Homo-oligomer: A and B are copies of this chain.
Amino acid sequence: SSASTPIRATLFPGDGIGPEIAESVKQVFREADVPIEWEEHYVGTEIDPRTQSFLTWESLESVRKNGVGLKGPMATPIGKGHRSLNLTLRKELNLYANVRPCYSLPGYKTRYDNVDLITIRENTEGEYSGLEHQVVRGVVESLKIITRQASLRVAEYAFHYAKAHGRERVSAIHKANIMQKTDGLFLKCCREVAEKYPEIKYEEVVIDNCCMMLVKNPALFDVLVMPNLYGDIISDLCAGLIGGLGLTPSCNIGEGGIALAEAVHGSAPDIAGKVNILEPFDVQSAMYIISFSAGEESAYVRPESLFKFSLGRGSSHLSYPVVLYIITVGVDLLKRINIETCLNLANPTALLLSAVTMLRHLELHDKADRIQNAILSTIAEGKFRTADLGGSSSTSDFTQAIVDHL
């Protein structure tokens, strides 16, 4: 009903708790009068040949057209002739930089105070090349690829970010003492870019040493830029310092100015056996049912045990099943069954704060400030907190409290 045309943004609610926390974002945005109209896309149930994954071509087109989007967690089974959903998004949309701000939340105590770190991760190459093969029986290799182009691009982004946000220092994280050529090239590119930003301090820190320093004294760092796998590791470590991935926003920057904000979840309630199956399927025809947790671990279960399976041995630090895939009897075809959890226990903070980074990308700073302040105040106040933060509020009560703080 506003006179100005709303901005269209793509929304991938994602798997498991995704739809629940996406609902929370929609509610908060509505109440804050954010002029955004969501284009919702669920992951497809069959492999789309144009994306070679369960992601639909239409959903990618939606992000390309809108230029901005928000995504919840997406889980992918390994192998079976299709690509990981997360990697497909990164490669197809050329999401070259993953930015994860990580700061202590006022009022939420961990072992660390005043953490204020930004990790900027190269997001398209490195150890994630997907190039692997068996050389001879019992000997396998995988290729780590580092290119000048991608390294310059992410370094440029990091220094640009540091300057734009009044940050003092950029640390390039590497293991060039061992991988002299690959990580060496990455460092060379960082140095080249550093020359152009004399006002920003630049340093190089070996990854093992960096991890040790981060747990001893995170205040030693400011903005960190690094190749893909190191970014994966260090951003999770940093999230751990302030309470976990349930609290840290993340935003992917793509060529052509695309911004896809994303929640990367870790901690979660135990909701085994308490999922909703969104699409009906014939349990009798299912040969195997594969369940996934946060895209990282999987368990094959027999159909008869669907509602009582346990991830068992090998998974004790696990979160929860967020998606099911089935292999049908007689047909070696993987089908994806969208499910959602409906426990109303999930913490929507990471997705909400990610949505805020999306607003900043759109330069809607007033809305961003208003929503961010409401989230932080709600957590600081401590009356309404979800179970992962030691509270007992439901997702919807926590969301309502944020709305009340707007």
Could you tell me the distance between the alpha carbons of A106 and B119 in the complex, rounded to whole angstroms?
A: 34
CB pair A313 B202 closer than 8 Å: yes
Nearest B residue to A138 by beta-carbon distance?
A: B148
Q: A7: CB under 8 A from chain B?
A: no
Interface residues in A242-261 by Cβ distance below 8 A to B read 243-245
Looking at A91-99, A177-185, A300-308, A366-374, the stretch in contact with chain B turns out to be A177-185
User: Chain copies in the assembly?
Assistant: 2
Interface centre among A133, A139, A180 (most CB of B within 10 A): A139
CB-based contact A208/B180 at 8 Å: no
Q: Are A296 and B209 in contact (CB under 8 A)?
A: yes
- At the interface, yes or no: A196 with Cβ under 8 Å from chain B? no
Docked pose: A104 CA to B77 CA in angstroms: 39
* In the assembled complex, A205 has its CB within 8 A of some CB on chain B: yes
Q: Is B145 in contact with A144, judged by CB distance below 8 angstroms?
A: no
Indicate whether A139 sits within 8 Å of B144 (C-beta atoms), given known contacts A133-B181, A182-B132, A237-B212: no
- Using a CB-CB cutoff of 8 Å, which residues 93-149 of chain A contact chain B? 110-112, 127-128, 132-135, 137-149
* Inter-chain contact A317/B180, CB cutoff 8 Å: no
- What is the bound-complex CA distance between A134 and B139, given in angstroms? 23
- The interface residues of chain B lying within 8 Å CB-to-CB of A314 are 202-204
Q: Is there an interface contact between B127 and A178, defined as CB atoms closer than 8 Å?
A: yes
Report whether B138 and A149 are in contact in the complex, using a CB–CB cutoff of 8 Å.
yes
**CB of A362 within 8 Å of the partner chain:** no
Does A215 make an interface contact (CB < 8 A)? Answer: yes
Report B-chain residues with C-beta under 8 Å of the C-beta of A135: 145
22 contacts between A and B (CB under 8 A): A111-B111, A132-B182, A141-B182, A142-B179, A142-B181, A143-B144, A144-B144, A175-B232, A201-B316, A202-B313, A202-B314, A203-B316, A207-B233, A209-B236, A209-B317, A210-B317, A212-B236, A212-B237, A212-B239, A212-B245, A212-B266, A216-B243
